[in-house]
Amino acid sequence: MAKAPVYAIVGNPNCGKSTLFNALTGLKQKVGNYPGVTVEKKTGTLYSQHGQPITIIDLPGAYSLAARSPDEAVTRDVLLGRREDTAQPDRVLCIVDATNLERNLYLVHQVLDLGRPVILILNMMDLAAQAGISIRVARLSQMLGIPVIPCEAVNGKGIIELKLAISRHDLPLSRHAWDIPAPIAPAVAELQASLVSNGGKAPLIARAEALLLLTDQDSVRVAGSAPLDAKTQEILRSWQSRWEAQGVDWAGTLVSSRYEAIGRLASEVAQSAKPSAQTLSDRIDAVVIHPLWGWVVLALVMTLLFFSIFKFAQAPMDWIGDGNAALAGWIRGLMPDGDLRNLLTDGVIGGVGTIVTFLPQILILFFFIGLLESTGYMARAAFIMDRLMGHVGLNGKSFIPLLSSYACAIPGIMATRTIEDPKDRLVTILVAPLMSCSARLPVYLLMIAALFPGPTYPIAAKVGIMVLMYALGTIGAFGFAWLFKRTLLRGKPPLMIMELPPYRLPRIKDVLLQMTERAGLFLKNAGTVILAISIVLWLLAAYPKSPAGATATEQLAHSFAGRAGHLLEPVIKPIGFDWHIGIGLISSFAAREVFVSTMGVVFSAESGGEDTTSLRHALNAARWPDGRVLFTPLVCITLMVFYVFAMQCMSTIAVVRRETNSWRWPLFQTAYMTGAAWIICFIVYQSGTALGF
Amino acid sequence: MSESPFHHLMPLCQLPARATGRICELTGDSEFCQRIREMGFGESVYVTKIAGNGTILCQLNGTRIGLSHDAARQILVERVGSR
Ligand SMILES: Nc1nc2c(ncn2[C@@H]2O[C@H](COP(=O)(O)OP(=O)(O)OP(=O)(O)O)[C@@H](O)[C@H]2O)c(=O)[nH]1
Ligand SMILES: [Mg+2]
C-alpha cells in the first residue's frame, strides 16, 4: 500500500475504545467508566512495525450506525466519509466488550457491510474470564474471515499482537455474508442503485446507506449534512407506503435478521458457564440505587467532598499564600517604589497569586469527580436521578452532563451530545452552567472566609454554606429546565435507556491524569488570561492619576476602573454591592474566578501596597462611604447567590454558540441567567435587610 | 413456571424483582422500538429484572440496563420463573 492507512476505532459505548487509543498512540484521551465519555473524534498516530506512521481515529461510542444522538452521528459521519475535516478511514478497528458479545457484534455487523478491512478486537477478556465466558477466537476469526485479537486494553495485553495486525499491508475483507430478508432485499438493491447513480456514492457505501435508510426513522438525519437526493427519497417513500399497506415491519425485520445472524455466530464461538450468582456490582447496586439508601450515599459523597475541600486544602493554601507574600516582599526589597513595582506586587501577585492559592481546592474537587467517573458511579447517579428528572421533563441521562458541569460547564455542554432529543439537549445546555463549576469555588471560598473570619468557626458551618450554594445552583437548574420544558421547548419527557457499567476500582492513573490536566489548564489560565486581565485592570485602576496628595481610595475612585464601577453602582446598590464589587462583576464576565483576582488588585491598590496576601482582611475592613461595613454576612451570601446564577464565562458562551450553531441561545442564556441572578439577589438582600440582617 | 401456550403478558415494570421474563412484544412508537431492538431487546430475548419500582434496572445478556418506568411499560414480557 502506497499511502499510510487511516484506522477508525469503532465500538459500543464504554467498551474501552479510548483506553485502546491511548495504548496505541500514547495520547491521553479521557477515559471513564460510563457510556458517553468521548463525544468528539480525536486523531493520533501510531508507528507501524516498519516505522510507517499510521493514523488512528478515536470515536464516540455508538450502539448502531443508525445514529440517534449527535455523538453517534459523529461516528457514523466519520465512518461514511461525510466529515470534511476528516479523511474517510480506510480500515476499521472494531472493538467489542467480550462479556457481551451479541449486543456488541450488532454494530460490527453493520460495519462489515461497509466493505472495508476490519480487525476485530475482543476487549475486556479479563472480565469475560471472570464471568466464565470462553470465546473460541480462532473459530470466530475463521467464520468472519478477519483477524480477531483478544486483549485487555487497560492492562496493555494484546496490544503487540494488535500492532502487528495493524501493520499488515494486506488485510482480508470479511467473507461473512448475511441474507437481507426477502421482502426487503429488492428495496435495498433499488435504493443502492439510486444512491450510486443519483447520489454519487461508492457501491458498498451505498448499500450500507440503503440499509441505514431503512432502519432509521428520520431519513434526513441519515443522509447527514447533504440531504438525500429527491429520486432516492421518492423510491424510499414508495417502498415504505407499500410495506405499510402490507403490514411489513421493515425496520424491525432488518434488526432481527441481523441479530439472528449474530446469534448463530455467537452460539458457535462463545460459551458461558452457568449464569453466575450475584456479582459484586449487584451487591453494591443493591445499596447505591436503592430508593432510600441511594440518596443517603449521594449525600454522603457530597458531604465528604466539601468537607475535604475545607479540611485538606487549608495547609497548602497557606503555603501558597506565604509564598506570595514572600515574593511580594522580595520584589519590594529589590525595586524602588514606583509604578512598575506596584504593577508586579499589586497587579501580578495580587491578581494571579490570589487565584493560585485556590489550586489545592480545585485539585481536591477534580480528584473526587475523577473517582466518581472511574468507579462507575456516574451512571448510578443518573439512574437514581431519573425519577426526579422526569418530573422536570428530562431524564436521568441529562444528569450526567449536569454532573460533569460541577467540574466545568464546557465538558458538561459537550456531554449533552449523548442526548437524543434536540429539544431536551438544548434545555440541558441552557441549564448546565447553573451547576456550580470549579471557577465559582474561589469566589465561594473567599466569601466564606469573609463570612467566618478566623479559625474559631466550626468547619461544619463553612461546609453547610458551601453545600447550600451547590444545592441552590442545582435546584435552579432543575427549576429552569422545568420552566423551559413547559414554555419554550415543549415536549414529552424522553425515555431513558442507559447501560450501567460494572463497578471498577478507580484507576489512580486516570484520576491523576485528569487532575493534572485540569490543574494545568487552571494554571495556564491564571498565567495568561488572568495575568493579562490583572495587568490591564491594574492599569485601569492606577490611571488616570489623581492630583498629588490624593488618598489611595480617592485615586482608585478617580481611575478608569473606579469610574466604571461607579457607573454600575446604581444597578447593583439594590442588591447590596458597591462600586468595588462592581469592578469585580464587570471583569468576571471573562471568567468567574477573575472576581477574586480583581478584588485582590482593587483592594491591594487601595491599601497602598501594604499587604497583598491577606485579601480576607482587606474585605473585612472595607466600608461604605458612610462607614457601614461593606461585606456584611448578608452581602457575602448575596454575592455568592449572584455567582450561583449569573452567566459569567466567555468560554461557555463560545461553546454554546458552537454546539447550538447560533448566537441566539448563548445570548438568551446569558440574559436569563444574569437577569435571574439580579432578581434573586434582590429578593435575598431586600428581605434579609428587612429582617434586620 | 414453564412456558405455556397460554402465556400471560405483563409489562417489564410489573415483573417482580429477580424474576426473568421473555420479551414478547414491543409497544410504543417505532423510533423507540427500533432503538431498544438494536440494543438487544429483541423478541424472545430473556431479561431479568434486578430492581426498581420507578426507574428499572434489568439484566440482559450480561449487561445491566437502566430503563425509565415509561420505557419499561412498553416492553411486554412473559414470566419464565426466577433465576
Ligand atoms: N477490566 C477491564 N477494564 C477495561 C479494559 N479496557 C478498558 N477498561 C475500562 O473500561 C472503562 C471504559 O473505558 P474507555 O476507554 O473510556 O471506553 P470508551 O469505549 O472510550 O467509552 P466511550 O468513550 O464512553 O464510548 C474504563 O473504566 C477502563 O478503565 C479491559 O480490558 N479490562
Ligand atoms: Mg472513549
pLDDT of residue A197: 86
Helices (H), A247-338: 250-269, 280-288, 293-334
> Which segments of A203-252 are extended strands (E)?
none
| CB contact (8 A) between residue B63 and residue A285 | no
Residue A226, pLDDT score:
63
Complex ipTM: 0.90
**By the 8 A CB rule, do A268 and A262 touch?**
no
The minimum CA-CA distance between B39 and chain A, rounded to whole Å, is 6
Nearest by Cα to A398 from A389, A410, A407, A406: A389
- Which H helix or E strand runs over A553? helix A552-558
Are A500 and B66 within 8 A, CB to CB? yes
Is the four-CA dihedral A78, A80, A83, A88 of positive or negative sign?
positive
The verdict on a CB contact (< 8 Å) between B42 and A102 is: no
A622 Cβ inside 6 Å of ligand 1: no
Domain spans of chain A, in order of start: 6-166, 185-272, 510-690
Question: Would an 8 Å CB–CB cutoff place B37 in contact with chain A?
Answer: yes
Ligand 1 midpoint to CA A134 (Å): 20
Strand partners, A148: A120
Model pLDDT for residues A582-635, shown as the tens digit of each residue: 999 988 888 888 898 888 888 876 665 454 447 778 888 888 888 888 899 999
Q: Which chain B residues have a beta carbon less than 8 Å from that of A133? A: 62
Residues A620, A467 contacting (CB under 8 angstroms): no
pLDDT band at B3 (very low <50, low <70, confident <90, very high): very low
- pLDDT higher for A378 or B6? A378
pLDDT at B2 over 50: no
- Bridge partners (DSSP) of residue A11 are A95
What's the A330 CA to ligand 2 centre distance in angstroms?
Answer: 48
**Which one is the CATH code of A6-166: 3.40.50.620, 3.50.50.60, 1.10.1140.10, 3.40.50.300?**
3.40.50.300
Q: Which atom of ligand 1 is nearest to the CA of A32?
A: 16
Contact call for residues A601 and A537 (beta carbons, < 8 A): yes
**Alpha-carbon distance values, A38 to A31, A90, A417 (Å):** 8, 22, 10
pLDDT, mean over chain A: 88
Hey, how many other C-beta atoms are within 10 angstroms of the C-beta on A331?
Answer: 17
Strand order in the sheet with A148-150: A42-47, A53-58, A6-11, A91-97, A118-123, A148-150
- Cis amide bond preceding A181, omega within 30: no
CB atoms within 10 A of CB A505: 9
Cβ contact B13:B70 at 8 Å:
no
C-beta neighbour count of A166 within 10 angstroms: 21
Mean pLDDT of the region B45-63: 87
Q: Which ligand is nearest to the CA of A22?
A: 1
Distances from the Cα of B62 to the Cαs of A6, A567, B43, B54, in angstroms?
33, 64, 17, 22
DSSP strand E in A136-221: where?
Answer: 148-150
Q: Which fold has domain B23-80?
A: SH3 type barrels. (2.30.30)
Are the Cβ atoms of A495 and B68 closer than 8 angstroms? yes
CA separation, residue A160 to residues A18, A114, A152, A172 (Å): 17, 27, 11, 20
- Count CB pairs under 8 A between chains A and B: 114
CB A20, CB A120: distance < 8 Å: no
Cell of B1: 413456571
Angle at A120 between CA A31 and CA A137, to 5 degrees: 115
Asked if residues A98 and A127 have their Cβ atoms less than 8 Å apart, the reply is yes
Q: What pTM does this model have?
A: 0.89
Which regions in chain A score pLDDT beneath 50? 1, 609, 611-613
Distance of CA A173 to the CA centre of its chain: 37
Evaluate: CB of A126 within 6 angstroms of ligand 1. Answer: yes
Are the beta carbons of A552 and A546 closer than 8 angstroms?
A: no
- Give residue A150's pLDDT: 96
A685: three-class secondary structure by DSSP: helix
Mutate: best of A497, A500, A503, partner B, most B CBs <10 A = A497
Gap between the terminal Cα atoms of chain A: 78
pLDDT in tens, A423-481: 999 999 999 999 998 889 889 999 998 888 777 888 888 889 999 999 999 999 999 99
Pocket of ligand 1 contains residue A22 by CB under 6 Å: no
What does the pLDDT read at residue A383? 92
- 8 Å CB contact of B54 and A383: no
Cα A165 to Cα A91: distance, rounded to the nearest angstrom: 12
Stretch (H or E) spanning A55: strand A53-58
Which residues are CB-contacts of A344 (< 8 A; sequence separation ≥ 6)? A328, A331, A335
Phi, psi of A582, deg, nearest 5: -55, -40
Question: CA A347 to CA A538: how far, in whole Å?
Answer: 5
Lowest mean pLDDT: which of A500-504, B1-5, B65-69?
A: B1-5
State whether residue B82 sits within 8 Å of chain A by CB: no
The closest CB to that of B66, out of A68, A218, A498, belongs to A498
With the C-alpha atoms ordered A284, A288, A291, A297, is the resulting torsion angle positive or negative? positive
CA angle (A144 as vertex; A142, A150 as ends), nearest 5: 75
How many whole angstroms from its chain centre is CA A408? 7
